[in-house]
Amino acid sequence: LVSEALLPYAQRGVRCHYLANIDGSEFHELSANLRAETTLFIVSSKSFNTLETLKNAMAARTWYLAQGGSEAELYRHFIAVSSNKAAAVAFGIREENIFPMWDWVGGRYSLWSAIGLPIALAIGTANFKELLSGAYTMDQHFQTAPFDKNMPVLLALLGVWYGNFWGAQSHAILPYDHYLRNITKHLQQLDMESNGKSVLQDGTPVKTNTGPVIWGGVGCNGQHAYHQLLHQGTQLIPADFIVPVVSFNPVADHHQWLYANCLSQSQALMLGKTREEAEAELRGKGLNEADIEKLAPHKVIPGNRPSNTLVVERVSPRRLGALVAMYEHKVFVQSVIWGINAFDQWGVELGKELGEGVYQRLIGNLECSAEDGSTQGLINHFRSRHRG
């Protein structure tokens, strides 16, 4: 998110790539664009035992050596960010090449820590400090502003209002900026991993709905896809529009049209179109009364659909830092209102635990059946296709 959002601030000669997926196809496509002698691999893992990260690190090591790199020069191409220094050293990374991080920082809250090293390399230390400064400014606003003027608190209360009192089950994030195209994915993890909980802090079941489904994408593209459901669907879906006033890359009057599209979509959600307006519109086009009666109901748009419009002058390090921090505090406020813990993720851990057993059965090291017939059937199918 941050490296893409701040691409206009990128350092010359530095290209930053990310690899989190364990899918070999992604590694293949990415490594095809790299040169071993000019590539630095940053292995970022708090615990240094995350399966996907370690598997990709091993693949990177193998790739580097296959490209002509040497064991003696490995230390110049591999560094780590981790709270588990011993594990990183055991992996083969020199102790002086390990950037420590706090063990209490969850991944979704970690870009401000040493995990943000790739950002600092991509945009430079001065810009990285601006990013932190913007976040700090939002931190101070959150801590000191009265609730009726406190942006994270207001956004959180709006979310609780629409979710718990009006039945909204999802929330759309609609950035009208190409560089912010990944903010929806970031907020999916931030919100859904934090507040996807069903027990209170004391372990008793919650009595209300908690975190909503976060989804969305680049605004103008969405207008030709899911905006239709926002306007005329049966579900109430609040939306956040995010738009800059100034474009980094003005082309003719494109940005004026982009900004106009953002405002007109939020306006349409709010105002809608009444039956009378639809009928008058059709009469103005010369349709007869029978056709008007048939077509008008389809053109009625309920309106009164909630949205927030977040306007930034342009996406700078400082403003992006404030924007991301604002959403972090919003998620925290909602967790407090619901009485849940925003800082654990035991559901994620269960999948990891079960994955080890499935893997051992796939490769034949564990002959006992899986815990359920469905999973065992899928394991058997995989093994039947990989025999020999």
Compute the half-sphere exposure of residue 20: CA atoms within 13 Å on the CB side of its CA.
4
- Count CB atoms within 10 A of the CB of residue 63: 18
N- to C-terminal Cα separation, the chain:
42
Is residue 129 part of the annotated active site? The answer reads no
Q: Dihedral sign, CA of 340, 344, 346, 348?
A: positive
Burial 94-118 (b: 16+ CB within 10 A, else e): eeebbbebeeebebbbbbbbbbbbb
3-state helix, strand, coil in the chain (%, to 5): 55, 10, 35
Instruction: Show the tokens assigned to 256.
Output: 């004026």
Is residue 178 part of the annotated active site? The answer reads no
Is residue 279 part of the annotated active site? The answer reads no
Task: Say which of 55, 254, 352, 386 is annotated catalytic.
Answer: 352
Query: How many residues belong to the chain?
Result: 388
> Pick from 113, 115, 107: which is nearest to 189 by CA?
107
Task: Say which of 224, 298, 313, 353 is annotated catalytic.
Answer: 224
Strand order across the beta sheet in which 170-175 lies:
213-216, 170-175, 239-244, 307-312
Task: Say which of 130, 186, 193, 197 is annotated catalytic.
Answer: 193
- Which residues are marked as active site? 193, 224, 352
